[in-house]
Every structure is written in C-alpha cells, then in structure tokens.
Structure 1
Amino acid sequence: MSSEHTEAVATREAASLKLALQPINATLSLRDQAYAMLRQAIADADIYQTREEIRLDERVLSETLGVSRTPVREAMTLLEQEGFLRMVPRRGIYIVRKSKREIVEMIQMWAALESMAARLATTNATDAEIAKLRHMFDNFRDSTPAEHIAEYSDANIAFHQAIVELSKSQLILDTIKNIFVHVRAIRRMTISQSDRASRSIVDHLRIIEALEKRDTELAERLVRQHSLDLAAYVEKHCDFLD
C-alpha cells in the first residue's frame, strides 16, 4: 500500500475538529506566536468529544495563521515535546488525548497542587482578590447552574484557575499549566452529568467561605476533596476515555 493511500485513509478516519485560530502578528516571533495560539486553541477545543483520533493539517494551520509552514512546524515540535501533539510518520499530526487512567492521575495531581494553592491563598491573597471568586457566580444566584450549563462550565473552570493564581506561586502555576488542558476538558464534559453542576457550586461556595475566613486547613481540605471527587467520578463513569 502506498504512503499516499495510507495517508488518505488516515485522513478520512481521523476526526475533524476546527480550532479557533486567527492570523498572527508578523512583528513578533512567528514560532512563539504560532505555539501560543495553537496551545490555546487546543486548550479551548473539546478534544474528548469523540473517540476518533483528531488529526491536524499543517497546510490548513499555516493558511489560517497567515504564515509559512516553518513556524507552524516549529511550534508543533514544541507542543509534541510538551505532550500535546503526537507525530506519526506518513500519517500526520494528532492531538494527544489521555486514557482514563492518565486523566484520573492528572486530576489527583491537580488536587495536590490546587489544594496547596488554596493553602497559600489564605495567606497571600488580598480580601479583594478573594471577593472576586464569589462574584464569579453572581449570574447563577437566581437560577440553577444546569439552566446555564455552558456559562457555568466556563465559570467553574475560571474558578479553579483563579485559586491557583491566588497562591501567587509561580512554580505551581508553571507546573500545573500542562495538566490544566486535559483536566479542563474533562471538567467541561462532566459538569452537565449527574447533577454535578449543582453540587459543584455548593462546594465552591464552601471553599470561598473558608478562604474568606483565612481557614488554611479547611480551605486546603475542601479544595483537595473537590478534585478527588471528580477523579472518583471519572474512574467510575467515564469509560468513553478508554
């Protein structure tokens, strides 16, 4: 079988996923901009929406970004090194999706890092910074999260990211950023299942109260358990990841 035929078959079998991209600014490093935009687009995409492999087209990406293939290729090499892409000779470039076991382990790691971030936030964050967490859920005071699940999903993800940022620990931020892409995708997918959204907002408000009271031990414990509950849910219900 020729390599052209193999690639054609792989292209037909691969899932189609349109990444949210736009032309980049040629006055800055093309590789770095392409890397940042591709990484963000992968983070924003629903990479677990299908069991099929998600193949990227280098030519389409370069045309969409408005640059030659060289910076796109260099950016994808960096993303491959970070574990976001997988390059298969004579077949193409694929977005890496984790197995259920890998996702569970990522969430467990997230639980450890975010809970430490919450602990640090009780001493490092200002009252005004913590107050902003409560305002993230103002839009859901008069309705249930399930009635606005897409908006609540975004607020949910922003909430967890904000806790990490409130730690003001650059090392935690740097360590957690690659895990975030996959944990974010799973949070987005599972938030609408089994009334998880309603239970989630209750957990969030308890976490905010602990932070407001500067209760270090309670804030750390609540944040850790919140993520471990997600890990247990994925372990029990998310067989589509295998």
Structure 2
Amino acid sequence: MPSDTQSVDRPEVRPDVRPSGLTLSLEPINATVSLRDQAYAKLRQAIAEADIYRSREEIRLDEKELTEALGVSRTPIREAMTLLEQEGFLRTVPRRGVYILRKTKREIVEMIHMWAALESMAARLATQRATDEEIAHLRHMFDNFRDSTPAEHIDEYSDANIAFHSAIVRLSKSEIIFETIKNIFVHVRAIRKMTIAQSDRASRSIVDHMRIIEALEKRDTELVERLVKQHSLDLAAFVEANCDFLD
C-alpha cells in the first residue's frame, strides 16, 4: 500500500475507471504537489468531462478503481472526494457509497439562469478588456464548420460550442466571475452537450455565436450583453420544455 506522501511508480498510461458504466479519463499522478490536491484536480476534471446526464442510472465512484487509476493510496482519494462533496459534485449515501451528484431539472434551469447573468456580464466586460486579437480568435473556433453544417459533426461542434462559452467568460478577465461560474459549469456543460443535437439547436446556436462575435468586434456593450443572456435563456426554456429525463 503506497503512503499518502509518495506516489506509486507506474507506467504512464490512461486507465479507464468505469463506475456504473461511465468512463472517467484518468492517469497516475506524481508527488511534486499535494496528492490530495492532485487527486482533487484530476477527479474534478474527469467529472466535468463526463456525460453525467446521459442516463437515469446513478453513477457510483469505486474507491478501489480510483486508487488504481491514480496510483495513490485511498487517503488522498477520500480527502479529494470530501472536498468535491463540499462543492456539490458528489454525495455520500450511507452503506452504499459515493455518487456523482446530478441536479434536477429545476436546479439545472436555475443554474442556466445564473450562467446567463454571469456570462452576459463577462461579455460586457470583454468589450472593454479583450484585445482585437482575442476577439478575432473566437471566429477561428468555428473554422471547421464553414463548409458543413454543425449537425454533420455534432460531437466536434458540441466541444467548440462549450469552448466558445468558456472563452467569453475568460475574455472578461474577471477572476471573480470565473471563480463564481466554474462550479455550475460542470452541469451546464453537460446539459449543453446533451441538448445541442436536439431540435436543430446546433444550427441556431452557430447563428447566435456569429452575432455575439460581431457585437464584440463592434464593442457594442449593450447588444452583446443582451445577445449572450438571451442565448442562455433560450437553453433554459428548452430544458424546461423538453428535458423531463432530469426529474
């Protein structure tokens, strides 16, 4: 059994952890930083990248599989999971184990409303703080879809869509907004990923994105704030009307 301060010497591989059929992409960590902190960062990232709403089945984390995947003892894994539970990513069920926490439809809609408020403010600040080059980069995020529709490459477009919204927040150059929004991002990201292929939302979203970029390029503070907010509110309305699987 490895100690809590020394990592296990393992080959550099990316083992799959499969709690209840879900695959989390993880790799061993080293001891240059606190093992707890590294385990926390890797688990949080893996949860953020997982499709946690793809089915109604509860997603249980297997502690033994996590220790083997990360190459550390159970203590830093447990400490990391405690932090993630405090932040609302996990929940412990007595005598059953630790599960990834999924939100109800009402909670998701409220999170998207919060996202709309924060991202629209970030977009407003971006008109004042982002450079021309930084704004121009937003257009290049959709270069791969110029000669085809988003629906033809839905997985790639979904990733570009999520990256676009993250970029808007970062262009605000506001650490307060970034730190406030990052915990709800896990759930909003998962819902964006699930719903982007439904009801031709991908094609409509790219039109919205281009209008947002044009408003940023013109430094039109009021317009970009309104466009970004409405874009997310449209997602909230779609979830409210169509995502009964969340209940």
Instruction: Return the alpha-carbon distance in structure 1 between the equivalents of residues 20 and 83 of structure 2.
Output: 23
Task: Please report the TM-score for the alignment, with normalisation by the length of structure 1.
Answer: 0.94
Alignment of 1:28 with 2:33, yes or no, is yes
Q: How does 1:168-207 map to 2 (within 5 A)?
A: 168-207=173-212
Per-residue deviation, 1:101: 0.2
Say what the alpha-carbon RMSD is for the aligned residues.
0.7
**Fraction of identical pairs, as percent:** 83
Q: 2:44 aligns with which of 18, 39, 46?
A: 39
The structure 2 residue matched to 1:151, chosen from 150, 156, 162, is 156
Query: 3-state DSSP class of the match of 1:130?
Result: helix
Partner of 1:8: none
Which amino acid is the alignment partner of residue 174 of structure 2?
A: S
Q: Find runs of 4+ consecutive structure 1 residues off by over 2 angstroms.
A: none
Structure 1 equivalent of residue 3 of structure 2: none
Query: How many residue pairs were aligned?
Result: 229
Structure 1 residue ranges without an equivalent (≥5): 1-13
How high is the TM-score relative to the length of structure 2?
0.92
Q: 1:16 aligns with which of 9, 17, 21?
A: 21
> In the TM superposition, what is the alpha-carbon distance from 1:15 to its structure 2 partner?
3.1
Letter in 2 for 1:66: G
Residues of 2 paired with 1:185 and 1:132: CA distance? 24
Q: Structure 1: how far apart are the matches of 2:177 and 2:154? A: 29
The CA distance in 2 between the partners of 1:16 and 1:146, in whole Å, is 27
Give unmatched runs, 5+ long, in structure 2.
Answer: 1-18
Which moved further from structure 2: 19-28 or 154-163? Answer: 19-28
1:37-90 Cα deviation digits (max 9, x unpaired): 000000000000110110001111011000000000000000000000001111
Aligned to 1:10: none
Q: Supply the distance in 2 between the matched residues of 1:92 and 1:16 (Cα, whole angstroms).
A: 16
Distance 1:98 1:203 in 2: 27
Indicate yes or no: 2:91 matched with 1:86: yes
CA contact (8 A) 1:16 1:55 kept: no
- Mapping of residues 50-199 of structure 1, within 5 Å: 50-199=55-204
Which SS does the other structure have where 1:94 is aligned? Answer: strand
Residue 26 (structure 1) shift: 1.8
The question of whether the paired residues in 2 share the 8 Å contact of 1:56 and 1:95 is answered with yes
Structure with bigger helix share is 1
| Residue 227 (structure 1) aligned with residue 232 (structure 2) | yes
**CA-CA distance at 1:161 after TM superposition:** 0.2
